[in-house]
Amino acid sequence: MGSALTVAVIVSGSIIAGAGSLLISSTAAAQATPPLAVESKISLGDIRGRIDHLAVDVKRARLYVAELGNGTVGVVDLRMRQTVRTLTGFTGPQGIGYLSSTDTLYVANSSDGSVKLFQGADLQAVGHIDLGSDADNVRVDAGAQQVVVGHGEGALAILDAVSHSRVADIPLKAHPEGFGIEPDGRRIYVNVPDAHEIAIVDRGTRKQIDAWPTGELGANFPLALDEGHRSVLAVFRHPATLAVFRAQDGKRLATLPTCGDSDDLFVDAKRGLVYVICGEGYVEVLAERGASYASLGRIATLPGARTGLFIPEIDRLIVAARARGAEPAAVWILRPLS
């Protein structure tokens, strides 16, 4: 199904070669073509305010957009290249996840701390789980049939995907931001910016077992796992920095500057690339260089566009852009050029 969707995306989208301005960093050699091109833009309609995270149902080619400032969730058909529905009734939707095995969409809300559940092709409301306050980032573990949600003043909630219930809470020192679940192991790596650390959680004991102090770096929000190199990547806002840690013991392997105000970070394992989405108005692309990375340059988006989603099954990077003046809120589809 992934290949069919890829074909549909390529055929239906108009490729805008060289869209945006490419800025080459001082650490990268000049290149003939940018690493990404804007393929198309899909309007989200009359949506105002900040846009937070995204999720995808690959089989149906549906993209789900947490429209935090508008109190809605956008449903985008990636084949038709249009917004087909806007779900309402949320209180600050920010984290979002989709589990294909149960055909369930999870939407985490900041204002009331709830996680609302929707199921099936018609997205029927099937309940909610109260986490207390500030339900935030959502990660789905299909193998374990679990959904993990960061919330409150410092905890990860473990939700059972079959019973739709909370089965455990793992305490942390402060509110968690971006986190990554080790796919073949027991660990969860969690950015905890107010504690100035990356917390390491053991899923078996459901306890924090280690902490990596972030030292001179602050405001670590996005985090991603580079599984091939067994490393943990975190982006800091103060100063704007990408740091690479060895997953085994937290040794910092590399530190390099990146664009500012990032809220999402993705690893493109196929190409050995990293995409940093920044509210400064850029996506920075970095390439693996041994244990470190080197910048290949930046492609311009819009100020405030700091969240998105890389979808390997269709080989596309999505960037969410909030409304600015006469420019409507939209999701941008970016195509890797290599």
User: pLDDT per residue over 261-273, tens digit each?
Assistant: 999 999 999 999 9
Taking the model in full, what pTM does it have? Answer: 0.90
322-328 mean pLDDT: 92
Residue 115 pLDDT exceeds 90: yes
Which pLDDT value is given to residue 326? 87
- Indicate the number of domains in the chain: 1
- In the chain, what percentage of residues exceed pLDDT 70? 90
230-254 mean pLDDT: 97
Quote the tokens at residue 301. Answer: 């988006």
Identify the three-state secondary structure at position 188: strand
pLDDT in tens, 133-158: 999 999 999 999 999 999 999 999 99
- In the chain, what percentage of residues exceed pLDDT 90? 87
Average pLDDT of the chain is: 90
Is the torsion defined by CA of 6, 312, 118, 77 positive or negative? negative
Confidence at 314, pLDDT banded by 50, 70, 90: very high
Give strand pairing partners of 116: 107, 128
Confidence at 34, pLDDT banded by 50, 70, 90: low
Confidence at 338, pLDDT banded by 50, 70, 90: confident
168-172 mean pLDDT: 97
Point out the least confidently predicted range of 11-20, 69-78, 231-240, 249-258.
11-20
* 2 or 235, higher pLDDT: 235
Residue 4 pLDDT exceeds 80: no
- Residue 210, exposed/middle/buried by CB under 10 A (0-12, 13-18, 19+)? middle
Which pLDDT value is given to residue 35? 87
Give strand pairing partners of 199: 190, 211
C-alpha closest to that of 277 among 247, 308, 253, 243 = 308
For Cα atoms 24, 25, 28, give the angle at the middle one, nearest 5 degrees. 85
Q: How far apart are CA 311 and CA 95, in angstroms?
A: 17
Quote the tokens at residue 200. Answer: 């390491």
Distances (CA, A) of 41 to 123, 199, 272, 329: 24, 37, 26, 10
Answer yes or no: are the C-beta atoms of 132 and 126 closer than 8 Å.
Answer: no
Confidence at 32, pLDDT banded by 50, 70, 90: very low
Q: How far apart are CA 70 and CA 87, in angstroms?
A: 11
Confidence at 31, pLDDT banded by 50, 70, 90: very low
CATH number, domain of 122, equals: 2.130.10.10
pLDDT in tens, 63-106: 999 999 999 999 999 999 999 999 999 999 999 999 999 999 99
| φ and ψ of 20, to 5 deg | 80, 165
Domain residues for the domain of 284 are 2-336
For Cα atoms 228, 230, 232, give the angle at the middle one, nearest 5 degrees. 115
pLDDT in tens, 218-227: 999 999 999 9
| Residue 124 backbone class (left: φ over 0; alpha: ψ -120 to 50; beta: rest) | beta
C-alpha closest to that of 74 among 52, 91, 41 = 52
